[in-house]
Amino acid sequence: MSTSSSRNIILTGGARGIGRAIARHLYLAGHKLFLIDVDEEELNYTVTKHLPAALAQAQPQSNSSEDRVSSCTADLRKPSAIQEAIESAAKFFGNRIDVLINNAGIAKAHWGNGEPGDKTMEDDVIEEWQAYVETNLTAPFILSKACLPYMKCKSTDTPRNPGSAVLSEEVSSRERPEPGPCIINISSFRARQSQANCEGYGSTKAGLLGLTHAMAVSGAQWGIRSNAILPGYIEVKHECKEADEQGKKWAENVGEERHRAHLVGRVGYGEDIAKAVEYLMDAGFVTGEQITVDGGVNKIKFESA
């Protein structure tokens, strides 16, 4: 596998938002995609309308009918649905998966309707808590587990010591290797800082960081790298079917003050996360790491603090 080769990529939550931006970026780069999402209408639109239109606009001479994208709907809170989705993806890819991007999750940061003051942990939020845990943390683990048989490097067909990440002499190599298969977990900068009433979201996004470095160590025995991306304020309200139909643009309703709150002078594009994903796909010497993509907002000290 080389940095210029097409890879077989599974992307969860790929129908809208950050996921759609990642899907578009990787599709235009020539990779083969299998998108998983719970929203059937949005997913069908992205696969059959949005991605082909983006390709036709970016590469007018390309073969837009090339079979490089497929999809299925799945409720990621159901392990059986995850297994079926991965088996469908493996069949589409000819039983080889190179990259898993765990992007799907409950996106609202606060309890209840997503507004900061709607509910607190004192209210009846146990079912919400369970939904956060099952979707944002358990599902990425089960997805990763289900992908293992299709991601293992051929050189690891003979198992390494399962109790140690240290490579044995016969499989260790000083030559510059290909990047190999990898898992990329989309966490959040809220894993490291919080507002009030974000326990469900913040805890599961932080848990995803622990899962990432644990899988990086365990995954070494199969030649699989694992890393995490922590997005900041990424403006993706325009990344959906309805916004396309209404002609909405990036950050058209974002105030200047919010842009200025970032060291780079703007909020994020979905492509900012997609480029980080692309980097980690090719970064063969990077595993178990966390990359924050937030325009530097977490480096600013409040004057009142």
Q: Is residue 305 part of a domain?
A: no
Q: Which pLDDT score is estimated for 1?
A: 38
Q: Is residue 252 part of a domain?
A: yes
Range of the domain at 106: 8-168+177-299
Q: Is residue 275 part of a domain?
A: yes
CATH of the domain at 16: 3.40.50.720
Q: Is residue 55 part of a domain?
A: yes
pTM for the model: 0.92
Q: Is residue 291 part of a domain?
A: yes
Q: Which pLDDT score is estimated for 194?
A: 86
- Sequential pLDDT tens for the chain (305 residues): 334 589 999 999 999 999 999 999 999 999 999 999 999 999 999 999 999 999 999 988 776 556 899 999 999 999 999 999 999 999 999 999 999 999 999 999 889 888 887 898 999 999 999 999 999 999 999 999 999 999 998 665 555 566 666 666 555 555 657 899 999 999 999 989 888 998 999 999 999 999 999 999 999 999 999 999 999 999 988 988 998 899 888 878 878 888 888 898 898 899 999 999 999 999 999 999 999 999 998 888 776 65
Q: Is residue 1 part of a domain?
A: no
Q: Which pLDDT score is estimated for 255?
A: 80
Contacts of 66 (CB under 8 A, 6+ apart): none
Q: Is residue 160 part of a domain?
A: yes
Q: How many domains does the chain have?
A: 1
CA distance 290 to 81: 29
| Max Cα–Cα distance, the chain, nearest Å | 59
Q: Is residue 304 part of a domain?
A: no
